[in-house]
Amino acid sequence: IRWGIVDPIVNAELSKRLRLEPGTQIWDIWTNVPIPIYMKFTFFNVTNPEEVIRGAKPIVEEIGPYVYEEKRRKIVLNVNDETVKYRPKTYYYFRHDMSYGTEDDNITMLNVPYVGIARIAWQVSKQPFVLEMLDDMLSDKGEQLFHTHSVRDFLFDGVSIENFMALLSFPGADAYDIKIPKRLQDGDFGFLDDKNGTADEVWVV
């Protein structure tokens, strides 16, 4: 009796409950993950940037953590009898109650775009004088090896890199086949600026 009647009934009920269908509990859980996920970020603030530029050893202080709650959603594009097509989307919300400070705290750290463009310049020229010229040009625009911005800017809002983009667009740059990474083409750089509220690639299950 157990194998002939009970198991098919149980299996049918399980299949019904676990089937991904709009309006069901499993659907709500699947599209909006209810389990809290937390991301913790710690920064190393450079307290002597000017001295480092002149050759001194960096002095850093660890600041943080800055905690963000991660919310994951699935934007459903199409549903049929066999598959669901969706695009995952992730949002980050600052949790002041779990953090050391606020998103507006200023941090001084290595200017990553500055180092990146210096690396590109060296790769295409292999000439030390090009790096010196580049440093002078960036200094004239107010760029330095270290820069100070808020936690929010470094992580999600992004720091303007228009000065660097302008240098990469100089006349004749095409001859060097300089390729700007896609995530930088909007003129901003943030460690996670392309993650917060941005839809991922399309998935089918």
| Rounded percentage of the chain residues whose pLDDT exceeds 70 | 68
pLDDT tops 60 at residue 7: no
Q: Taking Cα atoms as reference points, which of 160, 158, 180 lies closest to residue 169?
A: 180
Q: Give the confidence band of 6 by pLDDT, cuts at 50, 70, 90.
A: very low
Q: How many CB atoms lie within 10 A of CB 15?
A: 9
User: What is the pTM assigned to this prediction?
Assistant: 0.73
Q: Give the confidence band of 190 by pLDDT, cuts at 50, 70, 90.
A: confident
Length of the chain: 205
